[in-house]
């Protein structure tokens, strides 16, 4: 079985001026990997015919699958369809099913159908049309010289719908795909280079079809093992053996042996012991709460957050004493302790996280520079506190604060409740 390579092409001027972050590529790459297709490269080009053709040629030279998103909208700057017509030597024809789909959508929205919208139902004559269940632009499947080209809309949820319902099942049917398996674990409290030294001897013995990657982020390092081979069951066994060895080597630093974010590690612990969390956020401004509630089912173990940006809210809703605020300042051990205890008192939660800090760029004082953060975790066994000094920009300081606070909660939960 030969390895199947894919290239992802994203089209749109907005990608080249940086107004939009390309999240489509990452999601598509993930899906392809899980299906046993290796992504060779990702290319982003503007709404420019020559550059699109150039990208198609490059992609076809190295890959047998080329996935394309973007440039299918109803406006003049969307030129992907005419370019594909020229590339495949065909011309546009009206597709009845696509037109029907557009008409249904406009009827639902109670909007009149314009000439531009009708034109969206036109497709290159030589393609297989993939109907768009979530929008007006149809997808297109071409085959040429053994290469499959699929053009999809750039709107993320439309592309995702089409990938899941049509593109991935068709690709699996179209070609023999190898198994590609991943195992991921997350470590905290050890730098990338020390981790590398710790596992160097083991890493040197890895078989050729199992690769190790280091993914450092937010003061933590994720380790990922990737195995590729023809037989899924044999592969799984080999990979699990290596993963077990890796786990025992880094045991002391391991946060989780799954590919999951830190908030879900906490979620599992809370849920398993039917405990409820509440957060009292000052400097993170709701970000910790957003992370937790971005996962379905979070209401089972999460009561909510009091985002107390003002002194008034800290006093009114969390019971922080005016005197503590005045004497110690909002960014202090005393205030985060009162915030955490106040959050527990005013809700029916079992555990509380509280954070207060200076995220920047303004707000620093001589003894409290930007990045100074106090955090507290309160629970049935008292309050833990921690002072952190980050040194980055506002966004990253907010993200780091959230990560460290969640890890502090995780440690407390493990101590109180067990793994």
Site for its own copies in 164-223 (CB under 8 A): 182, 191-194, 196-197, 203, 211-216, 222
Query: Does residue 157 interact with its own copies by CB under 8 A?
Result: yes
How buried is 233 (Cβ within 10 angstroms: 0-12 exposed, 13-18 middle, 19+ buried)? exposed
Tell the smallest beta-carbon distance from residue 126 to its own copies (Å).
26
- Copy the structure tokens of residue 416: 């109180």
Query: Does residue 56 interact with its own copies by CB under 8 A?
Result: no
Q: Judge contact between 280 and 353, C-beta under 8 A.
A: yes
How many angstroms separate the CA atoms of 158 and 160, rounded?
A: 5
Q: Judge contact between 220 and 187, C-beta under 8 A.
A: yes
Q: Which of 125, 176, 309, 387 binds its own copies (CB under 8 A)?
A: 309
Instruction: Give 110 or 419: the residue with its C-beta nearer to its own copies.
Output: 110
Q: Which of 23, 107, 176, 248 binds its own copies (CB under 8 A)?
A: 23
Longest Cα separation, the chain: 78
What are the start-end ranges of the H helices in 163-261?
Answer: 168-174, 192-204, 232-250
Query: Does residue 80 interact with its own copies by CB under 8 A?
Result: no
Instruction: Give 27 or 253: the residue with its C-beta nearer to its own copies.
Output: 27
Instruction: Give 126 or 232: the residue with its C-beta nearer to its own copies.
Output: 232
Question: In the range 324-343, which residues lie near its own copies by CB under 8 A?
Answer: none
Instruction: Give 32 or 269: the residue with its C-beta nearer to its own copies.
Output: 32
Q: Judge contact between 382 and 364, C-beta under 8 A.
A: no
Instruction: Give 224 or 411: the residue with its C-beta nearer to its own copies.
Output: 224
Question: In the range 220-239, which residues lie near its own copies by CB under 8 A?
Answer: 222, 224, 226
Question: In the range 90-149, which residues lie near its own copies by CB under 8 A?
Answer: 111, 114, 116-117
Query: Does residue 254 interact with its own copies by CB under 8 A?
Result: no
Answer left, alpha or beta for residue 153, where phi above 0 means left and psi between -120 and 50 means alpha.
beta
- Copy the structure tokens of residue 289: 């709460």
Query: Does residue 65 interact with its own copies by CB under 8 A?
Result: no
Provide φ and ψ at 138, rounded to 5°.
Answer: -75, 155
Q: Which of 90, 177, 333, 392 binds its own copies (CB under 8 A)?
A: 392
Instruction: Give 109 or 233: the residue with its C-beta nearer to its own copies.
Output: 109
Nearest in space to 40 (alpha carbons), one of 16, 24, 13, 58: 58
Instruction: Give 63 or 151: the residue with its C-beta nearer to its own copies.
Output: 63
Q: Which of 219, 261, 286, 369 binds its own copies (CB under 8 A)?
A: 286
Query: Does residue 263 interact with its own copies by CB under 8 A?
Result: no
Sequence-separated (6 or more) residues with CB below 8 Å from residue 259: 182, 184, 224
Instruction: Give 226 or 247: the residue with its C-beta nearer to its own copies.
Output: 226
Angle in degrees, 0-180, between the axes of helices 49-62 and 80-87, rounded to the nearest 10: 50
Tell the smallest beta-carbon distance from residue 290 to its own copies (Å).
4
How many angstroms separate the CA atoms of 385 and 332, rounded?
A: 10
- Copy the structure tokens of residue 9: 């092409």
Query: Does residue 21 interact with its own copies by CB under 8 A?
Result: yes
How many angstroms separate the CA atoms of 247 and 241, rounded?
A: 10
Instruction: Give 32 or 254: the residue with its C-beta nearer to its own copies.
Output: 32
Q: Which residues pair with 213 in a beta bridge?
A: 224
Stretch that binds its own copies, among 31-39, 85-93, 379-387, 409-417 (CB under 8 A): 31-39
Q: Which of 288, 340, 405, 408 binds its own copies (CB under 8 A)?
A: 288
Give how far the C-alpha of residue 373 lies from the chain's centroid of Cα atoms, to the nearest Å: 26
Q: Which of 36, 139, 360, 379 binds its own copies (CB under 8 A)?
A: 360
Nearest in space to 21 (alpha carbons), one of 10, 8, 29: 10
Q: Which residues pair with 188 in a beta bridge?
A: 220
Instruction: Give 216 or 369: the residue with its C-beta nearer to its own copies.
Output: 216
Stretch that binds its own copies, among 144-152, 236-244, 280-288, 411-419 (CB under 8 A): 280-288
């Amino acid at each position: 079985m030969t390895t199947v390579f894919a290239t992802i092409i994203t089209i749109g001027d907005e990608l080249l001026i940086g107004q939009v972050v390309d999240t489509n590529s990452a999601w598509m790459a993930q899906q392809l990997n899980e299906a046993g297709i290796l992504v060779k490269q990702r290319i982003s080009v503007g709404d420019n015919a020559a550059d699109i053709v150039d990208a198609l040629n490059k992609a076809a030279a190295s890959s047998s699958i080329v996935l394309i998103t973007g440039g299918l909208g109803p406006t003049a700057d969307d030129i992907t369809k005419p370019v594909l017509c020229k590339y495949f030597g065909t011309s546009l024809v009206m597709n009845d099913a696509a037109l029907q789909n557009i008409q249904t959508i406009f009827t639902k929205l109670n909007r009149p159908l314009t000439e531009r919208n009708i034109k969206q139902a036109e497709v290159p004559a030589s393609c297989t049309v993939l109907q768009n269940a979530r929008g007006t632009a149809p997808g297109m499947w071409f085959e040429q010289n053994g290469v499959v080209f699929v053009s999809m809309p750039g709107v993320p949820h439309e592309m995702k719908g089409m990938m899941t319902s049509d593109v991935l099942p068709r690709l699996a049917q179209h070609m023999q795909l190898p198994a590609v398996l991943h195992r991921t674990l997350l470590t905290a409290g050890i730098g990338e280079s020390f981790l590398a030294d710790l596992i160097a001897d083991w890493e040197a013995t890895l078989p050729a079809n199992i690769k190790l990657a280091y993914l450092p982020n937010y003061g933590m390092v994720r380790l990922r093992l990737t195995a590729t081979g023809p037989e899924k069951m044999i592969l799984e066994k080999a990979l699990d053996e290596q993963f077990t060895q890796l786990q025992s080597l880094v045991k002391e630093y391991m946060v989780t042996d799954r590919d999951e974010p830190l908030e879900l590690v906490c979620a599992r612990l809370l849920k398993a012991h039917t405990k409820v969390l509440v957060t009292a956020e000052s400097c993170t401004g709701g970000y910790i709460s957003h992370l937790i509630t971005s996962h379905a089912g979070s209401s089972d173990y999460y009561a909510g957050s009091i985002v107390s940006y003002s002194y008034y809210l800290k006093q009114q809703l969390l019971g922080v004493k005016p005197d503590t605020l005045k004497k110690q300042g909002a960014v202090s051990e005393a205030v985060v302790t009162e915030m955490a205890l106040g959050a527990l008192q005013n809700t029916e939660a079992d555990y509380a996280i509280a954070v207060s800090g200076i995220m920047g760029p303004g707000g620093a004082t001589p003894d409290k520079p930007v990045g100074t953060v106090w955090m507290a975790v309160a629970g049935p066994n008292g309050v833990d506190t921690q002072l952190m000094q980050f040194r980055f920009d506002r966004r990253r300081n907010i993200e780091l604060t959230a990560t460290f606070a969640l890890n502090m909660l995780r440690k407390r939960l493990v101590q109180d409740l067990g793994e």
